[in-house]
Chains A and B, each alone.
Chain A
């Protein structure tokens, strides 16, 4: 079985990192590296990666420290301002949703065509049996009012998250 580790691996790594490889390290290590396939592969990979690293360090022009600091400071300030504005946004969103819900409920209660439509829907003529139809007629006014209030509440429940989503979404 081919060995995957070498006890001198660490020495080779240290020599390359310290830029002592190959000329300034001891002969024994150099001799070992020519014989050991683990160390040989390690040297190949490390040489490539170190060369790449050095090239990148030479080529790259990173932004100035002051610029990075400045951007970070402005962003921190902006985020703090946004965080401070967030409770107000929630408040506006909730108030808007409640207002829409109340408006829907009021329209339903006060506008006769809607009441008539809901009455027509709530007492269907095809209800079988006289007793059942009379009972339905007795509870109909209550059901209409409650139904419209429920409709308002449902509108409020549905619209509130929607309003909040629209208010809080970034895009």
Chain B
């Protein structure tokens, strides 16, 4: 298709037109974004294992969210909808062939150069966790993160990931056990993506 580009005037026009295109006002969006951007980014980063990809997916998630025509009963409902978009983006990304697969292990960049022993221990724990998560199934990673890092209820997780609420407890138990095994013996493979 011939490339369609916008002039600077059209770009400025887009800014004014956005509030007619999106259901949300810019002010409401700002508040919502401030509350959710970091948790969503953290979720994307830990489920994809790639910080730079998380940056891209974050922008895409909010774009899709802004384009939706859905109405929300509550703030939680709105937040869950955003996480659902994020989950779908990660899933779609996984299905696409990749030329540049970056490893999860690179992600903890907070390794201090002149670390005290506490910070160093923490950095090591983060690297171990990243390595262990990398070896888990994508769904297990999402489940564990949503349940224990984000504190989502079982009902919310079941809705987000499309699993039965009744089986979630057992799935979470198995995922926990697997994570602990991987943390103890990092070489364990199988069952990963």
Interface residues in chain A, defined as those with a beta carbon under 8 Å from any beta carbon in chain B: 4-5, 13, 17, 38, 41-42, 44-46, 48-53, 55-60, 62-63, 65-66, 68-78, 80-82, 85-86, 89, 167-170
Interface of B (DSSP majority class): helix
Contact B30 A69 (CB under 8 A): yes
Segment at the interface with A among B18-26, B78-86, B91-99: B18-26
Contact A46 B148 (CB under 8 A): yes
Contact A5 B173 (CB under 8 A): yes
Segment at the interface with A among B59-67, B69-77, B155-163: B59-67
Interface residues in chain B, defined as those with a beta carbon under 8 Å from any beta carbon in chain A: 1-2, 4-6, 10-11, 13-15, 17-18, 21-22, 26, 29-30, 33-34, 37-39, 41-42, 45-46, 55, 58-59, 62-63, 66-67, 108-110, 122, 125-126, 129, 144-145, 147-151, 169-170, 173, 176-177, 179-180, 183
Contact A168 B1 (CB under 8 A): yes
- Chain B, Cβ-Cβ closest to A73: B18
Interchain nearest-CB distance for B19 vs A (Å): 9
Interchain nearest-CB distance for B26 vs A (Å): 6
Chain B residues whose C-beta falls within 8 Å of the C-beta of A45 in the assembled complex: 144, 148, 176, 179-180
Given A17-B151, A72-B18, decide whether A78 and B38 contact each other with a Cβ distance below 8 A.
Answer: no
Contact B145 A77 (CB under 8 A): no
Contact B4 A48 (CB under 8 A): no
Chain A residues whose C-beta falls within 8 Å of the C-beta of B39 in the assembled complex: 53, 57
Q: Which of B18, B145, B173 interacts with A76 by CB under 8 Å?
A: B18
Contact B1 A63 (CB under 8 A): no
Q: Which of B22, B125, B147, B150 interacts with A72 by CB under 8 Å?
A: B22
Q: Given the complex of chains A and B, what is the CA–CA distance between A71 and B13 in angstroms?
A: 13
- Chain B, Cβ-Cβ closest to A77: B14
Chain B residues whose C-beta falls within 8 Å of the C-beta of A44 in the assembled complex: 180
Contact B42 A167 (CB under 8 A): no
Contact A53 B150 (CB under 8 A): yes
Chain B residues whose C-beta falls within 8 Å of the C-beta of A66 in the assembled complex: 26, 30
A-B contact pairs, 16 of them (CB 8 A): A4-B170, A45-B179, A45-B180, A46-B148, A53-B42, A53-B145, A55-B126, A59-B110, A60-B45, A65-B30, A68-B58, A68-B59, A73-B18, A75-B63, A77-B21, A167-B1
Contact B148 A49 (CB under 8 A): yes
